[in-house]
Amino acid sequence: MLGWELAPYNTGGLGVASLGLTQALAPMVRDIHFFLPDYTGSDSVFSHMNVIGAAGASGVTAPSLLPTSYSDFSSVTHEHSRKALHHGPAAFSSWYAQASVATSNQIHGKTSPEIIHAHDWMTYEAAQRVQDTTTSTPFVAHIHATEFDRAGGSEGHPAIHAIEQAGLTAADKVIAVSGYTAQIVNERYKIPSHKIAVIHNGVDQSQKPLPTSSFPLKGKHPVVLFIGRVTTMKGPEHFLRAAATVHASCPQARFLFCGSGDLEARTKELAAQLGLTGSIIFSPFLRGSDVQKAYAMADVVVIPSRSEPFGLVAVEAIQQGTPIVLTKQSGAAEVLPTVAQADHWDEALLAKHILTLISEPEVARAQVASAQKALTYLSWERAAKQVRDVYDELLHGAPVLNLAS
């Protein structure tokens, strides 16, 4: 498997999904060799597989491109992205390809991997080059987010788009994390539907809701939460404009805005322009248990994404028992059909949903109850089985049932 980040060394949902999927998949396959651009640790949370830092293992180091260790992981993964973009996506992509081929040769020697499974554009060229070294190993392109999503619906970075296009075209199978993403892959990248499998992400079902009584804001002020990367894709400005509307009719409401990203400065200026100073609390990117604490503290979580392949936040909030408002441009909307939804541009409707959920506890409770029921479907084991089916189809022409047992 060719990866980019792995929780807890992550800046986003990709790292979480990579960990959850591999944990559930490991018992169903022989071995997983998971490549990261750089990794030298030996975390016990990765004991289900072999995690390899391509930079170190291959000797194909690119010191100007990559930091040397994951000691400060949040800044390191941010550094990755920053440097990758600075040096050009193409330069990064081809370096990773070169390093991955060398690493793969080292691991597999004269043999070949049985499946090459690559996560998002950063790894697609690597997957293609590794595939070139084999005779017939199938290449699965797993797409967690497209450049259309990241660019908030526009074309995005042409070089990244080109790498995605080449990877998706070359792949023997594409796994999309939602029907919404499958549609983008089909319409925008012209990949035939039969080559795409929709496999919704799993969620960690062991998460127990936190008690909410310990938060001083709770019960005193309705708390409306935005949590996520502060980028165009996540629609932070939709949140703020909806917040201003909510603030006008419910001055007691408080807004909690958690996340880091390239729109951080602009969103703070916008919050001030909208007169939210003293009613809005900002926090940089939260990780670990703080994320769940934020859900627990909130009375409603808003996911205002302009284009969201899946949207783990929606699921995590529901697991915590906090109602959500979701944009229709999101994969999670498929699995949570009963939650409050609006188009991302419809800030008035977003605000209306927020106001309903903070003022009508019955509505909020009913929404959470029905959404929690829907979530039981979203296990990582189910996702892993579906992935295993894709492998079997590629290797044997049809899914082999009950292979894991």
Partner 1 sequence: MPAVCFYFQVHQPYRLRQITPFEVGTHPDYFDSLNEEVCRKVAEKCYLPTNAIFLEHLKKYPDFRISYSISGITLEQFERWTPEVLKSFQDLAATGRVEFLGETYYHSLASLFDGREFRQQVAAHTAVIQKYFGQTPTTFRNTELIYSDGIADMVSEMGFKAMLSEGVDRVLGWRSPNVVYETATTKPMALLLKNYRLSDDIAFRFSARDWSAWPLGADTFAHWLHSLDGSAETINLFMDYETFGEHQWAETGIFEFLKALPEAVYRNPQFSFQTPSVLASDFPRHGSLSIPQAISWADSERDLSAWLGNAMQDDAITKLYSLHDLVMSKNNTALLHEWRLLQTSDHFYYLCTKYWSDGDVHKYFSSFESPHHAYMAFTNVLTDFIMKLEGTSQAAAAPTKPHRGIPAGRVHRKV
Residues found near partner 1 in the complex (CB under 8 A): 215-217, 220-221, 254, 256, 258, 264-265, 268-273, 275-283, 290, 293-294, 297
CB of 274 vs partner 1, minimal distance in Å: 8
Which CB, 286 or 400, lies closer to partner 1? 286
Which CB, 215 or 345, lies closer to partner 1? 215
Q: Are 108 and 134 in contact (CB under 8 A)?
A: no
CB of 255 vs partner 1, minimal distance in Å: 9
User: Which sign does the torsion angle of CA 388, 392, 394, 398 carry?
Assistant: negative
CB of 87 vs partner 1, minimal distance in Å: 24
Spatial distance between the Cα atoms of 161 and 259, rounded to a whole number of angstroms: 25
Which CB, 260 or 379, lies closer to partner 1? 260
CB of 55 vs partner 1, minimal distance in Å: 29
CB of 283 vs partner 1, minimal distance in Å: 5
Which CB, 93 or 292, lies closer to partner 1? 292
For residue 183, give the nearest of 329, 10, 81 by alpha carbon: 329
CB of 275 vs partner 1, minimal distance in Å: 6
Spatial distance between the Cα atoms of 283 and 276, rounded to a whole number of angstroms: 15
Which CB, 162 or 217, lies closer to partner 1? 217
Which CB, 91 or 217, lies closer to partner 1? 217
Between CA 366 and CA 252, with CA 236 as vertex, the angle to 5 degrees is: 60
Which CB, 216 or 397, lies closer to partner 1? 216
Which CB, 3 or 259, lies closer to partner 1? 259
Q: Are 22 and 14 in contact (CB under 8 A)?
A: no
Which CB, 274 or 384, lies closer to partner 1? 274
CB of 217 vs partner 1, minimal distance in Å: 5
DSSP string, 212-265: STT-TTTTTS-EEEEES--SGGG-HHHHHHHHHHHHHH-TT-EEEEE--STTHH
Q: Which helix (H) or strand (E) segment is 325 a member of?
A: strand 324-327
CB of 358 vs partner 1, minimal distance in Å: 15
For residue 322, give the nearest of 191, 245, 218 by alpha carbon: 218
User: Is the peptide bond preceding residue 8 cis, with omega within 30 degrees of 0?
Assistant: yes
DSSP E strand stretches across 16-148: 33-36, 50-53, 116-119, 139-143
CB of 239 vs partner 1, minimal distance in Å: 15
Q: Are 103 and 57 in contact (CB under 8 A)?
A: yes
Burial state string for 210-237 with b = 16 or more CB within 10 A and e = fewer than 16:
bebeebeebeebbbbbbbbbbbbbbbbb
Q: How far apart are the first and last CA of the chain?
A: 23
CB of 13 vs partner 1, minimal distance in Å: 21
Question: Which residues pair with residue 256 across a beta bridge?
Answer: 225, 281
Residue 283: Cβ within 10 Å count: 13
Q: Are 73 and 42 in contact (CB under 8 A)?
A: no
Which CB, 105 or 283, lies closer to partner 1? 283
